[in-house]
Structure 1
Amino acid sequence: MDKTTFETKNTINGPMHASLRHDSAHKHVTGTAEYIDDIREPADTLHAALGMADRAHAEILSVNLDAVKAAPGVLWVMTADDIPGFNDVGSTGQHDEPLLATNKVEFHGQPIFAVIAETRDQARRAARLAKIEYRDLPHWTDIEGAVTNGAPLVVKPMTLQRGAPEVEIGKASRRLQGRIEIGGQEHFYLEGQIAMAIPGEDDDVTVWSSTQHPSEVQHMVAHVLGIPNHAVTINTRRMGGGFGGKETQGNHFACLAAVAAKKLGRAVKFRPDRDEDMAVTGKRHDFRVDYDVAFDDEGRIHAVNATYAARCGWCADLSGPVTDRALFHADSSYFYPHVHLTSQPLKTHTVSNTAFRGFGGPQGMLGAERIIEEIAYALGKDPLEIRKLNFYGQPGSGRTTTPYHQEVEDNVIARVVEELERSSDYQARRKAIIAFNENSPVIRKGIALTPVKFGISFTMTAYNQAGALVHIYQDGSIHLNHGGTEMGQGLYVKVAQVVADAFNVDIERVKITATTTAKVPNTSATAASSGSDLNGMAAYDAARQIRERLIDFAMRQWDVPREEVEFLPNRVRVGTEVVPFDTLVRAAYYDRVQLSAAGFYKTPKIHWDREAGRGRPFYYYAYGAACSEVSIDTLTGEYMVDRTDILHDVGRSLNPAIDIGQIEGGFVQGMGWLTTEELWWDDKGRLRTHAPSTYKIPLASDRPKVFNVKLAEWSENAEPTIGRSKAVGEPPFMLAISVLEAISMAVASIADYRECPRLDPPATPERVLMAVERLKAL
């Protein structure tokens, strides 16, 4: 029988650290949660659609839009010439991403024009009527094509080095070279890209955008319109999923809607069809990792030299920081005495790839785990034995320095793995699986236990800041606003718990309001697993200021010392008197005490020199481990995840129930990346996996049949983060590597575990079957 369990223990009183439900959970399941497409449209709202290129790489010779303009319901057809400001939405300042193409198209589906019509259907139908003449140019859509054609790099590569790998790599007793090709992934958020713009007076425009980065959308809209940032307001109440796909990719739709709204003086909504959404928005980067590793007869790594090449797409987007983070995690949980790592961000004629949960970290980590797997099979050992032998050590061991020269000071990976190895009964189950495989002609099983060490912070130092705004009204109710966005991950309720805890009041008193650039300016993206760390601390800073004012007022009003003012649940003790919280607030108001505060936080200690490849890009690390068992059918390549056990380190959890949900969801999404989700472009550069009918995300039935998830209850962040918690958004994603490696073990049983199957993800049934057949032929 299917079974899913999780364990938490809440031993701390108060709203913070409690397992409270997601603030919108009841709205999600009843369909009452309001997304942008649910907002009642203003009178005379217009609708927009994209006119997209049907070439992968070509010069535009002529564009005839007469039929488009004459189509029923069409009011305006926008081209690059109509953009009042700058025709650029590049997120990294390289100015290489035109909002609308002009003389050349560089991927199949690139927007050339936009149609504004009375209805969405009219706009979409009209967009297909354009007559465009092209002169085709050579194109390539994958890493191999980019390398063969000498493709340029979209950004400057990065190199990390420590020790003398060029000398030392030839000194160890053993050496191997190999390659792993890692597939990309579609975000497949339930709510697609959408924006609605409403024009105001003068330069003003208000945009409702499904975005993880409202401030960036604000900057882009202002840039495209040629107006100051203060004239643009971006609102985001919630997203129906983001996963990184709404960090930069919503810029196009918000900008086009805003330009049309200001031009026509009417509200404009832009909601692409799912097929169009998948065709024109970026995805997880494909990677190809070439590695050369030296190790001893026990399996201890001596030196590593690896190149991480990536399919980046037609423009830079976030490929620089994504490929940088891949190198930051190319060590996974392992100490490399001598190491040389290089990124290779290659231009391809595909949509520009972008942020995705883990932001390059999963690809970097997977390369390291393949190295471990290769060593284990070469020596005839259990990969877990090789993992434990190469883990980072404790301070003073001489095994704590990363390839980017940051010291690993908070290492608990050995403890996490040891506890999971014991609680999952890994050793006994592995022996039983090997015995089972000896006597099973068709079904083969595999098991793997893999670790996660994930650095937490934006690698762009400036993004490690946040603001918040807290008001207390006369009745004691609290208004909270911060720069983080809610995409279903529970950020809003976590930050509300922080504020409620600061005043020791019920969380029902705290009103969570939509993210808007009109209240908190210059916000960072809700990404890099930093939403709770940054916004929780900023909100706490605001609440702390008000709390101090209330304490000062109480001391003055009741003539008592500070130590005699205590915030009790929903009330305050002042000397010998206990007053309700709202009574104190009302009295403070009449004494003209300021009951509003803006909070701010910036992450301490971090610094990074990219040119030197040295610094401390991460404030701390989050750790975890997963043990997965699978069964494969050697006749068809089909497989099933029989059981997964997870132990994950979230520090002192702000909300154990929410964190458990993030771990489960991240793991299943990681499974999809590594097993079922396959992107495919044809020889004309067209994305053919562009809809649910051709792109397979995991189903509920694909999850592990037995799914045990436990938090490391003993953990507490060594750094003074909010509540001593740790980030949980991205780290669990990499736990799914255990599934890929378990499948690999099952395949390896065909050749008596003598050969590393080198099973590249996604390990679809077809690829599993081909791997089985290769080993049968040995």
Structure 2
Amino acid sequence: MTKHTPNLKAEKISGGVHTDVRHDSAHKHVAGTAIYIDDMPEPAGTLHAGLGFSSVAKATITAMDLDAVRAAPGVVCVLTAADVPGVNDISPSGMQDDPVLADGVVSFHGQPIFCVIAQTRDQARRAARLAKVSYDEQAPVVDIWPLDIATDKQVATPLTLKRGDVATALATAPRRVKGRMRLGGQDHFYLEGQVALAVPGEDDDIIVYSSTQGPTETQHLVAHALGVASNAVTIEIRRMGGGFGGKETQANQVAALAAIAAKKLHRAVKLRLDRDEDMVATGKRHDFAIDYDVGFDAEGRILGVDYTFALRAGFSADLSGPVGDRALFHCDNAYFLPHVEARTALFHTNTVSNTAFRGFGGPQGMVGAERIIDEVAFAVGKDPLEIRKLNFYDPMGEAGERNLTPYHQKVEDCIIQRIVAELETSADYAGRRREIAAFNANSKYVKRGIALTPVKFGISFTKTESNQAGALVHIYADGSVHMNHGGTEMGQGLHLKVAQVVAEEFQIDLDRVKITATTTAKVPNTAPTAASSGADLNGMAAQNAAHQIKVRLIDFAAERYGVPHDQIEFLPNRVRVGNQEIPFNELVRQAFVGRVQLSAAGFYKTPKIHWDRSKGRGHAFYYFAYGAACSEVSVDTLTGEYVIERTDILHDVGRSLNPVIDIGQIEGGFVQGTGWLTTEELVFDDKGRLRTHAPSTYKIPLASDRPKIFNVALTDWSQAYEPTIHRSKAVGEPPLPLGLSVLHALSDAIASVADHKICPQLDAPATPERVLMTLERLKGQAAATP
């Protein structure tokens, strides 16, 4: 113990909040020592599974001869739908429309219809190819483009948002434009594919090591398929090699099959899909057809919008309903729409059931918003940025009338005007636009374009019960801290941020906090790590747990040393008690001897939010995250090929828990969003077969595709409007739509061939082929215009 003396300079712990700390697994990722599920030592006698897939998209199975499969070398058994001991369903929506294995009917090409268990993975996969399956094949429904909202099948109840009198606003508007946009889907293309290792225990017990973003949901659905209570199933995951939403529900099938086989055979079973199998058999970002009808005045101020967002749901509901809902929640992006009606159409198709993807429909809604901005800008002959600024939300303007969303929530924290103004200046938007105009006037074949686009992204699950989290914190007698929470780590630094929160609460160095694997045996009933809420929810829950222990330590110290509570203060790695300072470890040891409870379960639920889907009204989001990107491109008008010359981003993360991690998330989100809107194209043929199911045909962005100049900055003046964890804001999903700046820069470059008189109406993904076709169409339209 030491006497307390005033600090002459501010002391800080190592690795607290608001500091740059390297990702806890970064060195392991680089060195190849990070342990993923496929790297785990396998229990003795582990068996391996391989799947048999449907070779048609829509059919009744008339015969399935698996004798050759069972007789193949190394095969132990073959599972079919009849071998599912519980309920043959893994539907996250509870609609009983998503079988573990197809039972008599197949609904998409590549649907799993049986599962082979063998001594090795190679044997299982080779044996699966020996099956003889006969089908009564029917014509599949593949594309949503020709479908009719009034007559064609939908997988779930659609949503309509409405505010004001849209019909009158459109009928009386001085100007009006209608159109339709095609917007492609996206494969998650995580580095680690779907994988699970199931280890059976005694009685009904089983442990499943699953690459899942939603351990609790996986736990419940595995139990459902096994026909046991959830308390018999433990799901554990230390880290994923990427998720992006693709492991929110899609991990459940692999986990369930491994678990069923393990319990049947009383041996550990591992199932891992390879890249082609994964891309064919698992859901993706929904592709959309967006219909819009927008009315506006001569200045370009939007008066009313009517939207229809039709999406390709696939063969089952999965998360298509909530994804469509969130698209509508973001059909305004950062713009006030005085009169608006927007609806979804959740079309059933004979394709894999589409699912969550980073942004969860929000980016698709924003694409619709930015398309109508482009249409208005070209119609009135103004720079699209002028139209954007003219239509921004303005909580302080017009007696607060320009701050109501289509779902009737007030936008009270709008900072988009300042973000765009600062980025417009720092990126020299006006100067570069002049330079680009001069360049294009003197360049016959290469044209440049520039665009500055905003982002307003709502943060919260719209399913109210998902907005809760739990955490477990222990302090051991030596002063070391063990931390566990319900969130999952997929490379985004969630565990690190939560550990920083715990270190900050106790005022101890970060290296004293042990990050442990997520497991349903420690923290139950958790939400999936999704909706950008991982740090918000789990950080608050962990802080709550740490605070409980901290209060107990203060009470103990006050009683032991006979000092008032207000004379006890946690300082870096020590505690001031009256006029003396006690090392943190020593106080913990004393508390242990004094029989103080040094463990706590923390909990947090997001306040204020509520949502009535039947009425299309509510306070759907706790707060909004904002950002803006300015991108410049060069396009070869002879080939449609292009490069991103420069991108400048200014993004709002409030008071960042870890700025360097957040900047990495923003860079990655932008690149992923750009890939979705430019190079990544999903192609199904008329038989429902995915033709782009490998890196040879599906093109994610390469390192060489990043902007030549890439400037990313965080707002240094922003903090969360609502009480969040240390006033930080979510950063997982909001940066992805920043990639819209590239799509609209391409549109701007294309428009130059027609002297910016015609809206290019560029669909996405804007592949070089699509860019070239749009260029040729615009040239033809310009030539035909007097």
TM interval, short-chain normalised: over 0.9
2:317 aligned partner, one-letter code: A
Alignment of 1:481-500 (within 5 A): 481-500=484-503
**In 2, are the aligned partners of 1:305 and 1:339 still within 8 Å (CA)?**
yes
**In 2, are the aligned partners of 1:161 and 1:613 still within 8 Å (CA)?**
yes
Q: 1:528 aligns with which of 512, 528, 531?
A: 531
C-alpha separation in 1, matches of 2:63 and 2:167: 53
1:247 counterpart residue number: 248
C-alpha separation in 1, matches of 2:168 and 2:368: 22
Post-superposition Cα deviations, 1:335-390, rounded to whole Å, max 9, x if no partner, equal 01100000001001000000000000000000000000011011111000000000
C-alpha separation in 1, matches of 2:719 and 2:187: 34
Q: How many angstroms does 1:675 deviate by?
A: 0.4
Q: 1:648 aligns with which of 651, 655, 672?
A: 651
Superposed CA RMSD in Å reads: 1.2
1:592 counterpart residue number: 595
2:231 counterpart residue number: 230
C-alpha separation in 2, matches of 1:168 and 1:582: 68
Asked if residue 742 in structure 1 is aligned to residue 745 in structure 2, the reply is: yes
Q: How many angstroms does 1:114 deviate by?
A: 0.3
1:728 counterpart residue number: 731
C-alpha separation in 2, matches of 1:527 and 1:517: 17
Asked if residue 424 in structure 1 is aligned to residue 427 in structure 2, the reply is: yes
Q: How many angstroms does 1:27 deviate by?
A: 0.4
Q: Which runs of 5+ in 1 are unaligned?
A: 1-9
**In 1, are the aligned partners of 2:311 and 2:347 still within 8 Å (CA)?**
yes
C-alpha separation in 2, matches of 1:148 and 1:96: 21
Q: How many angstroms does 1:689 deviate by?
A: 0.4
Asked if residue 465 in structure 1 is aligned to residue 471 in structure 2, the reply is: no
1:665 counterpart residue number: 668
1:603 aligned partner, one-letter code: T
Asked if residue 506 in structure 1 is aligned to residue 509 in structure 2, the reply is: yes
2:209 aligned partner, one-letter code: W
More deviation, 198-207/388-397: 388-397
Q: Secondary structure at the match of 2:244?
A: coil
**In 1, are the aligned partners of 2:149 and 2:345 still within 8 Å (CA)?**
no
**In 2, are the aligned partners of 1:151 and 1:348 still within 8 Å (CA)?**
no
Q: Secondary structure at the match of 2:735?
A: helix
C-alpha separation in 1, matches of 2:702 and 2:94: 39
C-alpha separation in 2, matches of 1:65 and 1:369: 53
1:347 counterpart residue number: 348
1:358 counterpart residue number: 359
C-alpha separation in 2, matches of 1:145 and 1:239: 38
Q: How many angstroms does 1:150 deviate by?
A: 4.4
C-alpha separation in 2, matches of 1:754 and 1:393: 30
Post-superposition Cα deviations, 1:154-178, rounded to whole Å, max 9, x if no partner, equal 0100000000101221111000101
Alignment of 1:6-25 (within 5 A): 15-25=16-26
The verdict on how the C-alpha distance between 1:145 and 1:87 changes in structure 2, with shifts beyond 3 A counting, is farther
C-alpha separation in 1, matches of 2:143 and 2:483: 46
C-alpha separation in 1, matches of 2:141 and 2:444: 43
1:54 counterpart residue number: 55
C-alpha separation in 1, matches of 2:499 and 2:261: 37
2:764 counterpart residue number: 761
Alignment of 1:10-89 (within 5 A): 15-89=16-90
**Count of matched residue pairs:** 769
Q: How many angstroms does 1:149 deviate by?
A: 11
**In 1, are the aligned partners of 2:12 and 2:572 still within 8 Å (CA)?**
no
C-alpha separation in 2, matches of 1:480 and 1:639: 47
**In 2, are the aligned partners of 1:245 and 1:355 still within 8 Å (CA)?**
yes
**In 1, are the aligned partners of 2:468 and 2:526 still within 8 Å (CA)?**
yes
Q: Secondary structure at the match of 1:144?
A: coil
**In 2, are the aligned partners of 1:152 and 1:346 still within 8 Å (CA)?**
yes
2:109 counterpart residue number: 108
**In 2, are the aligned partners of 1:456 and 1:727 still within 8 Å (CA)?**
yes
Post-superposition Cα deviations, 1:80-126, rounded to whole Å, max 9, x if no partner, equal 11111000000011111111111210000111110000000000001
Q: How many angstroms does 1:148 deviate by?
A: 9.6
Post-superposition Cα deviations, 1:34-83, rounded to whole Å, max 9, x if no partner, equal 00000010111000011110001011111111111111100100011111
1:122 counterpart residue number: 123
2:701 counterpart residue number: 698
1:217 counterpart residue number: 218
Q: How many angstroms does 1:691 deviate by?
A: 0.6
C-alpha separation in 2, matches of 1:172 and 1:315: 40
Q: How many angstroms does 1:146 deviate by?
A: 3.9
1:628 aligned partner, one-letter code: S
C-alpha separation in 1, matches of 2:680 and 2:637: 21
**In 2, are the aligned partners of 1:420 and 1:625 still within 8 Å (CA)?**
yes
C-alpha separation in 1, matches of 2:432 and 2:518: 48
Q: Secondary structure at the match of 1:357?
A: coil
C-alpha separation in 2, matches of 1:309 and 1:320: 11
Post-superposition Cα deviations, 1:272-302, rounded to whole Å, max 9, x if no partner, equal 1110010000000000110000000000000
Q: How many angstroms does 1:142 deviate by?
A: 1.3
1:311 counterpart residue number: 312
Asked if residue 437 in structure 1 is aligned to residue 440 in structure 2, the reply is: yes
TM-score scaled by structure 2?
0.97
1:302 counterpart residue number: 303
The verdict on how the C-alpha distance between 1:182 and 1:685 changes in structure 2, with shifts beyond 3 A counting, is same
C-alpha separation in 2, matches of 1:744 and 1:105: 41
1:414 counterpart residue number: 417
Asked if residue 455 in structure 1 is aligned to residue 463 in structure 2, the reply is: no
2:606 counterpart residue number: 603
C-alpha separation in 2, matches of 1:142 and 1:218: 34
Q: How many angstroms does 1:11 deviate by?
A: 12
2:784 counterpart residue number: none
**In 1, are the aligned partners of 2:183 and 2:763 still within 8 Å (CA)?**
yes
1:500 aligned partner, one-letter code: A
2:619 aligned partner, one-letter code: R
**In 1, are the aligned partners of 2:427 and 2:648 still within 8 Å (CA)?**
yes
Q: Secondary structure at the match of 1:624?
A: strand
1:172 counterpart residue number: 173
1:554 counterpart residue number: 557
Post-superposition Cα deviations, 1:647-683, rounded to whole Å, max 9, x if no partner, equal 0000000000000000000000001000000000112
Q: How many angstroms does 1:140 deviate by?
A: 1.6
More deviation, 142-151/99-108: 142-151
C-alpha separation in 1, matches of 2:100 and 2:191: 25
C-alpha separation in 1, matches of 2:486 and 2:150: 43
**In 2, are the aligned partners of 1:140 and 1:146 still within 8 Å (CA)?**
no
Post-superposition Cα deviations, 1:226-280, rounded to whole Å, max 9, x if no partner, equal 0000000000000000000000001000000000000001000000111001000
User: Identity over the aligned pairs, expressed in percent?
Assistant: 67
Post-superposition Cα deviations, 1:195-221, rounded to whole Å, max 9, x if no partner, equal 000000000000000000000110011
2:390 counterpart residue number: 389
Post-superposition Cα deviations, 1:679-703, rounded to whole Å, max 9, x if no partner, equal 0011221111001111000000000
Q: Secondary structure at the match of 2:48?
A: strand
**In 1, are the aligned partners of 2:197 and 2:210 still within 8 Å (CA)?**
yes
Post-superposition Cα deviations, 1:705-728, rounded to whole Å, max 9, x if no partner, equal 000000001001110000000000
The verdict on how the C-alpha distance between 1:149 and 1:70 changes in structure 2, with shifts beyond 3 A counting, is farther
**In 2, are the aligned partners of 1:146 and 1:348 still within 8 Å (CA)?**
no
Q: How many angstroms does 1:151 deviate by?
A: 3.0
